[in-house]
Amino acid sequence: MLKKPFFWIMVATVIAFVVMPIFGGIGVRESLFLAAVYMILALNLNLMIGYTGYVNFGSIVFFGLGGTLGIYAITVMGWPLWAALIGAAVVVALLALLLGLGILRLRGAYFALATIGVVEATKSFVSNFDPFGGSTGMYISFSSYKPLGGPREALWIVYFLVIAVLAASLLLGYMIKRSRFGLGLFAIREDEDAAMVLGVKAPLFKAIIYSVSSILPAMAGVLFFFKNGVIQPDQAFELTLSIEAIVMLMLGGQGTVFGAALGGFAYEQFRGYLLTSATFSNFHLVIAGALLLLIVLFAPGGLTGWLHERWSLTRRVLE
């Protein structure tokens, strides 16, 4: 692995994310924080859509549920941040495994619809469940930031933790792609019935990857809402963000680690530009939609696909 150029590209990316805000200051840090969260969502969604060929429209449920459980552990049960991170990730992964064994029996459009149902069911459940604060959600009191040395220091620590989760997401995507397990997933993507005939345990593989793809987004959810200071169900389980994650993946190019990361980063920059520009701020949804339509109709391979078509070198370097 150490001899592969792409490994060093990933290392350089993570180093850039660590170093840039130290010199650039808080404004840069805030922009990179959101970009890193988007990249985490896109990279993990890529495991389902890009590798396995299953369109998960509800990937946001991992992010939202992780956030809800983590914030509950911190505010109500008084857990430290690290314990809440691990606890939320474990619970979400187990729930995803159980759920995956059920809904992954569905294929194609039926699976996509079921994942939308899962988001809406979870969102309406959390909005009604009083221990999680109901529809008003939960607030993090000032004292929760104390163990990390106060709010100012806590923001930096949370930023570096998100970068750690980003690094883990990059590595996870890369290692699965290089593994025997990953080959099984690709076989399922190309032709599930043929893969099963060849001995790939498709139902198990699918449930495992569904569960694996939930762990890091759940952690990102805890960190995002810990930094946010408040978590509300409408915000935590926003179906739009789920679909924006698919847009990021399409923009960068599905099926590649590089494409997913690039798509997440580029989408955040693009969205930030649209939201702040005077001309486009009212129409950012329209422009994002038009962009998506153009990608789907004319460049389904995304940016990576476009690069691969022009230079054959990128095909060997970018995974």
- Interacting residues with other proteins (CB under 8 A): 49, 53, 55, 57, 102-103, 105-110, 112-114, 116-118, 120-121, 124-125, 127-128, 135, 243, 246-247, 250, 282-290, 292-293, 296-297, 300
Name the minimum Å distance from CB 102 to other proteins: 5
Rounded CA-CA distance 39/23 in Å is: 22
C-beta atoms surrounding 171 within 10 Å: 17
Residue number with CB closer to other proteins (127 or 144): 127
Name the minimum Å distance from CB 307 to other proteins: 20
Rounded CA-CA distance 21/262 in Å is: 19
Name the minimum Å distance from CB 295 to other proteins: 8
Residue number with CB closer to other proteins (116 or 164): 116
* 25, two tokens: 């200051």
Rounded CA-CA distance 125/120 in Å is: 8
Q: Cα Rg for the chain, rounded, in angstroms?
A: 19
Residue number with CB closer to other proteins (282 or 312): 282
Name the β-bridge partners of 139.
Answer: 230
Residue number with CB closer to other proteins (244 or 268): 244
Cβ-contact 57, 242 below 8 angstroms = yes
Cβ-contact 151, 2 below 8 angstroms = no
Residue number with CB closer to other proteins (135 or 228): 135
Name the minimum Å distance from CB 28 to other proteins: 29
Name the minimum Å distance from CB 73 to other proteins: 23
Q: What is the largest CA-CA distance in the chain?
A: 57
Residue 142 is classified by DSSP as G
